[in-house]
Chain A
């Protein structure tokens, strides 16, 4: 079956702009989580969506937001981009949620570069 699909794979944006990233989970999976990966901070949890509702949120400013659609596809948005937002953004798909004892599968990520 198809894996987790993230689009776009690469993105270059200018400071102050906003960006929207997309994630299509594995068919049948209702949970989508987003992570930011940087060399200095490692993998940091952004938020999780389950059945169109945000279930958990990490320690990121309000510039980072997300949503989930009825088909479980999810988007995350970053407004007023800063240089420090340059990172690999990963989404993870799971049946019931990463905190509920089920496997989570990651997409290839979107490499965001802010200049």
Chain B
């Protein structure tokens, strides 16, 4: 089955700085990689995803990069704001969604 490792588990950055979260996966057949943001008391919210036929995808301040050869993908958040504080999960679907262990991102005002 799929195994997804996510780093770091916690991350604190100054407001306005960038944050990067990295994930590696084991199943080379995986071809779709979503990122979820979970705020306190809420369910995970899909914020961006990437498919294996592209190397990078951007949506305003958020970007995801994918390296299929190395089997890793990363979430990049630029110009961070206090509302970016949350837990972020990567996932790799293969019959089911296998999630990383999560990164608690704290933006320091």
What is the interface of chain A, defined by CB distance below 8 A to chain B? 4, 6, 33, 35, 42-43, 45, 48, 56, 58, 90, 92, 98-109
Q: Which 10 A-B pairs have the closest CB atoms?
A: A106-B43, A43-B99, A99-B95, A45-B96, A101-B32, A98-B97, A99-B93, A106-B44, A108-B43, A109-B43
Show 5 residue pairs from A and B whose CB-CB distance is below 8 angstroms, ordered by the A residue.
A33-B96, A92-B97, A102-B32, A104-B93, A106-B44
A99 / chain B contacts, CB cutoff of 8 Å:
93-97
Asked if B31 contacts A101 (CB within 8 A), the reply is: yes
B36 / chain A contacts, CB cutoff of 8 Å:
106
Q: Tell whether A98 pairs with B102 under 8 Å between CB atoms, given A43-B89, A106-B44, A108-B43.
A: no
Asked if A104 contacts B89 (CB within 8 A), the reply is: no
Asked if A104 contacts B43 (CB within 8 A), the reply is: no
Most buried by A among B31, B43, B44, B101: B43
B95's partner among A4, A56, A92 (CB-CB below 8 A) is A56
